[in-house]
Amino acid sequence: MIELPKKVAVCFMSGDKDIAESQSNIIDKSKLQFELEQYFRHERNSFLCQTFSQMINETIDDTESEFMIFINPKTIICTDDIEFIVNKLCSGYCFASLFGFAFFGMTKELVRNIGMPDESFLAGEYEDNDYLIRMKLFGKMVYWGQDWSKYDYYKSKCDPNRGSSLTMFWRKWRFKNDVLISYTYNKVKYISKRHSKSRDDISSSWKTFEESYGDGEIWSMVQKCEIIESSLSEHLVEADLKINIDFKDEFFIEMLSEVETAISYFLVTKNDGDSGRFPINMNLVYSNHWRTLPISENEIELRLYHDGNLIYLSQITKGDEIRLSLRIPSSILK
């Protein structure tokens, strides 16, 4: 146990002033045992960042407080939630969340030890999986909640980068059959020099990862996976990929390659005026494997990604057959 901090940065990540201020007004500051350093992203920049990690990392550098709580625009909060997270961070947890990366708290001391969230994951996907894996490798106790009463879920529209992060995640961790490989690709962005002074009182209070609590799909994936640490490095080779797609009674996709690699498909509803496009399904397809999926729509947008890059984009209609032969650089481990 460590003493409660005198001040905590509560960071409202919405670019919309009305949403951020309505969340802030819910918190009864008089009931808290510490002061709040309120940080509003819309006051720094209200434009859409390329990655959610970029927003988090700017906030880490911009705030002065050691203890930080991050609040997603969809998050439903109350005063007790703020105290709950801070109490967890003072009770042996290096990270505490009520809903994954949508409503969580950590200290700058954790960032000093494992680095900042990875900005390679575009459009707000898989940076949370990545950071939880890094905390598991670090070996300190985590509280990873997924309380759906704290999150106003609705589908987000699909910006041009949406869907690319899954193959970026595969490229970084080579995730397959519940095994992850940690290798020399893993580059870390560190905290700024002005925040670099260590807090040994905090880090010495952390308990082991085995004592962690977790809930939800991301936690289940990371908790059960085996992480293999290796001295392998990444190399690029020219690879011939054959991709077969049939959109008939169901969606079928197959990828053939002599190189151990993966692509991902990202299926999106057809653009319908002002309502925009919304995701249907996304998944990896490994070399010499296939997937099928029932689809009710008669026309969809298909995006294919490889190593984080878009390699195919088209509207497809029921009955379409697509045969792709591509020679592209593929990352392998040696």
Closest to 324 measured CA to CA, from 308, 313, 309: 313
Task: Return the exposure string of 68-100: e unless at least 16 CB atoms fall within 10 Å of the residue's CB, then b.
Answer: bbbbbebbbbeeebbbbbbebbbebbbbbbbbb
- Asked if residues 326 and 285 have their Cβ atoms less than 8 Å apart, the reply is no
What span, in angstroms and rounded, lies between the C-alpha atoms of 163 and 35?
A: 39
Strands of the sheet with 251-256, listed across from one edge: 289-293, 251-256, 234-247, 320-333
Return the number of other C-beta atoms located less than 10 Å from residue 182's C-beta: 17
- Asked if residues 259 and 332 have their Cβ atoms less than 8 Å apart, the reply is yes
What span, in angstroms and rounded, lies between the C-alpha atoms of 215 and 181?
A: 23
- pLDDT for 163: 87
* Cα atoms in the 13 Å half-sphere on the side-chain side of 192: 10
If you search the block for the tokens 């960042």, which residue do you land on?
49
Backbone dihedral angles phi then psi of residue 294, each to the nearest 5 degrees: -70, 135
* Residue 160 CB contacts under 8 Å (≥ 6 apart), including other chains: none
Return the number of other C-beta atoms located less than 10 Å from residue 313's C-beta: 14
- pLDDT for 272: 58
Return the number of other C-beta atoms located less than 10 Å from residue 214's C-beta: 17
Closest to 10 measured CA to CA, from 63, 55, 75: 63
DSSP state at residue 3: P
What span, in angstroms and rounded, lies between the C-alpha atoms of 236 and 330?
A: 5
Taking 70 as the pLDDT cut, the residues of the chain under it are: 46-48, 157, 185-186, 271-276
What span, in angstroms and rounded, lies between the C-alpha atoms of 289 and 303?
A: 18
What span, in angstroms and rounded, lies between the C-alpha atoms of 23 and 14?
A: 10
Query: What is the secondary structure of 4-66 as a DSSP string?
Result: PPSEEEEEE--S-HHHHHHHHHHS-GGG-SSEEEEEEHHHH--S--S-HHHHHHHHHHH---S
Mean per-residue pLDDT over the chain, rounded: 93
Sketch out the chain's domains with CATH numbers: 7-163+187-224 (3.90.550), 236-333 (2.60.40)
Amino acid at 44: R
- Asked if residues 182 and 228 have their Cβ atoms less than 8 Å apart, the reply is yes
pTM of the model: 0.93
- pLDDT for 172: 93
Digit-coded pLDDT (tens) for 131-168: 999 999 999 999 999 999 999 877 776 777 788 899 99
Digit-coded pLDDT (tens) for 209-266: 999 999 999 999 999 999 999 989 999 999 999 999 999 989 999 999 999 999 999 9
Helix axes 165-173 and 127-138, enclosed angle (nearest 10): 20
- Asked if residues 216 and 151 have their Cβ atoms less than 8 Å apart, the reply is no
